[in-house]
Amino acid sequence: MAKFEEISIYDYSLDELKEMLKPSFRAKQVYNWLYKKYANSYDDMKNIPNELKEELKEKYPIDIMQIVKKEQSRDGSIKYLFKLRDGHTVEAVLLLMKKKKKDEDGNIVRSEQYTVCISSQVGCKVGCTFCLTAKGGFVRNLTVGEYIAQIVNIKRDNEIPENKSLNIVYMGMGEPLDNFENFTKAVQIFSDEEGLAINRRRQTVSTSGVASKIKKLGEKDLGMQLAISLHAVDDELRSELIPMNKAYNIASIIEAVKAFPVDTRKKVMFEYLVIKGKNDSIEAARKLITLLNGIQAKVNLIYFNPYPGTTYQRPEEKDMIKFKDYLNDRGLICTIRESKGLDISAACGQLKEKEANGNT
């Protein structure tokens, strides 16, 4: 598949813009319009000379993706389907983690807390059998600008103030580490204090286990958080769920994780998608404790979210609780991820597939 070459203004860091725009102070002005005021047109940039606006319009577009569909859940989560410049679509999700809290006098004592789950690729190479994204195969990597524009569009659409931070998880469509250069540059642009100012500790990359790239990411030492989509405690089942496991087996992933620099205040997150009758037994929980021994780890149990056509089933709540309690009782921190968006197209790739089939 041909590489998508078109660039946008979002592809550039502030330092790069300073080299491109003269006088260089214009770069900071443009950055302010993009990331503090969420401008979606150069015409909105009142303090930028018209001649420069016209040059920027021609060379570095802003409007590089459009919201073509969104679904809002009763729990406040919003699933977005974005259309890209070449006609392909990707998804992102705004998760309302904590609602606004007021005291008896109506004063705000805690503002909303958001996490945004963003995509890395159109389609995916990994081919996980439980994931709807894999159905359409791999098309292309997202550009740096397409990473950035997902967050900007969502903040603009929800009128989230520029000084309101949020968390980013690279956990949407695609494998982030298969788009390594664009993904790592996006991490750095997101964290620029003159831009969106999303601290790298608030950014988490979720990988299906590309062990060589985990090592490479660790060497860059970006200060971000790491999550491993593990989902199984033996190679036989993991290879069924994630065919890439044949190239990067569990042992190679664990070895790479042990070498990864971890913030002492944080732990490596191990995502464990629980599928009824596949990996929800106490025996699996026991093996998981042995597997993660020696790692500063936290396990996040995730309910499998069924979609039309899948043969996998959602686990029983009682089995999830037994699994969690077994780990916690033996000193391995374990939580159950609160299921969000169950009344909308919550499964990754589901909204894209629904739109493609003309369903509403």
Task: Give me the catalytic one of 71, 91, 271, 353.
Answer: 91
- The answer to whether 358 is a known ligand-binding residue is no
Q: Is 334 annotated as a binding residue?
A: no
Asked whether residue 131 is marked as a ligand-binding residue, the answer is: yes
CA proximity to 218, closest of 190, 183, 189, 258: 258
Consecutive H or E run containing 90: strand 89-98
Residue with tokens 């732990």: 267
Is 124 labelled a binding residue?
Answer: yes
Whether 329 and 286 have beta carbons less than 8 Å apart is answered as no
- Answer yes or no: 334 catalytic: no
Nearest Cα to 230, choosing from 125, 75, 334? 334
3-state secondary structure string across 249-290: CHHHHHHHHHCCCCCCCCCEEEEEEECCCCCCCHHHHHHHHH
- The angle at the Cα of 342, spanning 289 to 323, to the nearest 5 degrees, equals 20
* Cβ burial, residue 100 (10 Å; 0-12/13-18/19+): exposed
Residue 91 designated active-site: yes
- On whether 117 is known to bind a ligand per the annotation, the reply is no
Determine whether the annotation assigns residue 174 to a binding site.
Answer: yes
The pair of three-digit structure tokens given for residue 359, joined into one six-digit string: 């369903």
For residue 212, give both structure tokens. Answer: 């060589």
DSSP string spanning 213-249?
HHHHHHHHT---EEEEE---SSHHHHHHH-GGGGTS-
Whether residue 214 contacts residue 253, with contact meaning beta carbons closer than 8 Å, is answered with yes
Catalytic residue among 271, 334, 348, 353: 348
For the chain, the maximum distance between any two Cα atoms, rounded to a whole number of angstroms, is: 68
Angle (CA) 220-146-306 rounded to 5° is 95
Is residue 273 a contact partner of residue 304, using CB atoms and an 8 Å limit? yes
- Rounded to the nearest angstrom, the gap between the alpha carbon of residue 42 and the centroid of all alpha carbons in its chain is 28
Is 230 annotated among the ligand-binding residues?
Answer: yes
Q: Is 206 annotated as a binding residue?
A: yes
**CA dist., res. 131 & res. 240, Å (int):** 12
Q: Which amino acid is located at 144 in the chain?
A: V
Active site residues: 91, 348
Task: Mark the binding-site residues for [4Fe-4S] cluster, compressed into ranges.
Answer: 124, 128, 131
Task: Mark the binding-site residues for S-adenosyl-L-methionine, compressed into ranges.
Answer: 174-175, 206, 229-231, 305
Task: Mark the binding-site residues, compressed into ranges.
Answer: 124, 128, 131, 174-175, 206, 229-231, 305
